[in-house]
Chain A
């Protein structure tokens, strides 16, 4: 149809036109080329490395050792510990983000003055740089000079909890919840705004209690968006790196060493076990791809709806 339109048109000054298929190629190729060079090629390269013994700080070329890296990793209790830490962190963070975010959305759904301004103010944390946020919370959590303990009611530094030492993982979760609950809120708000008023009117006429209205109207309408938010936050939590590095650097010991942090330590600190790290990266990759696919599939479905 486009073709016929172009033929039908007879502009006064007609230069030689680029055909539609050329435009297609010219427009799409640079993007695909960059993505393939920077994502697909590296992935194949690290797949190869994951089957070798290799250290990028040494001079030796990679030596093929089959699946030895994978065997070693999967039987290493530390790797399982890292996964367990990541899982616990993701579960706690996402759970509280969902609760707090949904609660905030319910609070801010009403049409009152200053609502827009307040919503934007609450959204600020999620736009900030995670590493700087994490680092700054270090001062806030500090038992002597930080304000966190004072704010939650521990006025005596001697008896107050030392967050980054005794409850490091909880601290990371607190920061993550502070930062990302607004994200869940934003999505839930859009779901809440889409609920037509007449549903509540009809329910009120039928004498449905507010509680029942919540369960039968509010929650089902927001559920898809809440789920989307939870999925997205889960993927992000599994990648957790920036905040953790800023806040605890993986410590104390390896109490907050998520898989990403342990990968970083494996490659860029100590012995530079590039081959083993590549194998671990692949394990992480498979897990993330599994969950990401659910997310992308869901996004596509939402777009069609």
Chain B
């Protein structure tokens, strides 16, 4: 208590160190409170650093050569190499001494081929991963588009009309999202086998659309609820039809909401593993089930896995920054607004 008083007295003598622009609690501009803030900042930096170690380690491993990636004890400093990425995107073959010599005389090699050659290997062609990344993109983008479009329509109807049993319907829609994927997969797997949707893009797109629908309806309904209904009523009085009012009044007003919803759906579809593992095999396989299984064949090539993971995670990290204002809303199905 005594130190408290003395701290306040020095503050009374010196006054706040920087001009007080807005109203601030007096006890928060004291030197003591300021030290507290600095300590907090340092602690927060430390925590953020610790939290990011695994991700950073993954990024580092992606740029290691094979021996460096599995060195014991683990190497923090290493010579960067692109081996991981070459391993990820290509199928290679080890060259014999004779073949190596002829190959080295060639002058028409591109950058990647030279990198591979430096390790005595020749690139045969693109690996499956290229295909899987492509599948991931197609399935995630299309299903997001569908989920947001259909979700927007349903959300608008639920927000603006007095639909009988509205609460029950919304409850039903959300409850579908709570089902464990493994539980619904068995019947869907059997259903897809009969319908010929097993291991097809369209099957996965529809499945992810359905899974994201409940989320997009709930989130978008929250955004539409916030647009004052008076705008539309004014438009209707001015002779707009319902659909025109929807297109010209509601849509522009909830562009942010639509974007945030789309990004969340995209992340879900991009990251999804359980369904993809059980409902695809070759043709439509996406990257998440493939990165652990395909790349690990013949001794775990950690630098390759890390390169794949890194490429896969980068979009999500970028998007997280873009989304930061809406994260809370997204993860609580629109129940809590910031």
Which chain A residues have a beta carbon within 8 Å of chain B's beta carbons?
2, 5-6, 8-12, 14-15, 17-18, 20, 23-24, 26-28, 30-32, 34-35, 37-39, 41-43, 45-46, 49, 56, 104, 107-108, 110, 112-116, 118-133, 135-137, 139-140, 144-147, 150-151, 157, 178, 182-183, 186-187, 189-190, 193, 197, 200-201, 204, 225, 228, 232, 235, 238-239, 241-242, 245-246, 260, 263-264, 267-268, 274, 277-278, 281-282, 284-285, 288-289, 292-293, 295-296, 299-300, 302-303
Q: Determine if A35 and B213 form an interchain contact, defined as CB atoms under 8 angstroms apart.
A: yes
**B186 lies within 8 A of A277 (CB):** yes
- Does B89 interact with chain A (Cβ within 8 Å)? no
For residue B270, which residue of chain A has the nearest CB? A129
State whether the Cβ of B5 lies closer than 8 Å to any Cβ in chain A. Answer: no
Q: Once the chains bind, are A27 and B175 in contact (CB under 8 Å)?
A: no
In the bound complex, what is the Cα–Cα distance between A25 and B176 (angstroms)?
Answer: 21
Q: Is the CB of B153 within 8 A of A27?
A: yes
B163 within 8 A of A: yes
Residues of B within 8 A of A35 (CB): 172-173, 176, 210, 213-214
Interface of A is mostly: helix
Q: CB of B80 within 8 A of chain A?
A: no
**Contacting pair B179 A267 (CB below 8 A):** no
In the complex the two chains form, is A145's CB within 8 Å of B74's CB? Answer: yes
Shortest distance in angstroms between A162's beta carbon and chain B's nearest beta carbon? Answer: 13
Question: Do the beta carbons of B180 and A121 come within 8 Å of each other?
Answer: no
CB pair A125 B51 closer than 8 Å? yes
On whether A268 and B278 interact (CB within 8 A), knowing A30-B153, A46-B187, A129-B270, the answer reads yes
A296/B171 contact (C-beta < 8 A), A39-B184, A128-B271 known: yes
Bound-state CA distance A293–B172 (Å) is: 10
Given A12-B239, A30-B150, check contact A45 B191 (CB 8 Å). yes
Bound-state Cα–Cα, A135 to B54, Å: 11
Q: Is B273 an interface residue (CB 8 A)?
A: yes
- Chain B interfacial positions (CB closer than 8 Å to A): 25, 27, 36-38, 40-41, 43-45, 47-48, 51-55, 57-58, 61, 69-74, 150-151, 153-154, 156-158, 161, 163, 167, 169, 171-176, 178-191, 193, 206-207, 209-210, 213-214, 217, 233, 236-243, 267, 270-271, 273-274, 277-278, 288-289, 291-292, 302, 305-306, 309, 312-313, 316-317, 319-321, 324, 327-328, 331-333, 335-336, 338
Among all A-B residue pairs, the 3 with the closest Cβ atoms? A11-B239, A42-B187, A292-B178
Contact B233 A5 (CB under 8 A): yes
Q: Which residues of the other chain, B, contact A182 by a CB distance below 8 angstroms?
A: 51
Chain B residues lying within 8 Å of A135, measured Cβ to Cβ, are 291-292, 305, 309
Given A56-B189, A104-B47, A190-B338, A241:B213 Cβ within 8 A: no
